[in-house]
Amino acid sequence: MRQLLSLLMFVVPAAAQTGGWVDLLPDASFSQWTRVPLPATATLMQPSQWKVDTARRVLLCEGTGGHEMLRYNRELGDFAMRVEWRFAKLAGEPRYNSGIFIRTSAEGAIWHQAQTGLAGGYLFGASPVNGIIQKFNLQKEMKENRVKPAGEWNVYEITCKGRTIALAVNGAPVSEFPACEVPKGYMGLEAEGFRIEFRNVRMKPL
């Protein structure tokens, strides 16, 4: 843990660290982040649909550039993460869709995701079980739907510790995956056809 924190302190300015929390919001150059097409065999659309509003300290995904992951370029093991997000409100309340990846492989074949959408926050993904990748979806086990309407900010707190990935939405636990066989992986943000903003993207090694 000390080695990881030291490495992150080297990469992230000291001003971006408070109480052990490291601010991961990209800068305008996205120097620590990589766009990954989903699936990996697809072609990334240009120009990028990701932008940083440095004045508001907000990361914006236009939702117009296809399905992809904006991946933070360092693998993380045990850590806690906080991120705020909101969709741009659209007429008719469509099925807004995006997510936050954790312990995900570089190309996205193995993935664990905290779903963002009006149907609620829950964990799902494609995770190895005895070496064989199997899909899982914990939507039906979600304790309650605490996601706010489109246009309002939501707070996700994700904890990865040992084999357990846990998600809290707006201050209360809602979903837990206790059988993760992947000890470390990448964190990323998903673009899936809707305009979404992220802010206060922070991580603390555990």
| DSSP H or E segment with residue 167 | strand 164-169
Residue range(s) defining the domain that contains residue 69: 2-205
> What's the rounded Cα separation, in Å, for the pair 154 and 4?
28
Helix H, strand E, coil C: the string for 16-29 is HEECCEEECCCCCC
Tens of pLDDT, residue by residue, the chain (206 residues): 544 444 444 444 433 556 899 999 999 999 999 999 999 999 999 999 999 999 999 999 999 999 999 999 999 999 999 999 999 999 988 999 999 999 999 999 999 999 999 999 999 999 999 999 999 999 999 999 999 999 999 999 999 999 999 999 999 999 999 999 999 999 999 999 999 999 999 999 99
The length of the chain, given as a count of residues: 206
**What CATH number did the domain enclosing 39 receive?**
2.60.120.560
At 114, the amino acid letter reads: A
pTM of the full predicted structure?
A: 0.90
Into how many domains does the chain fold?
A: 1
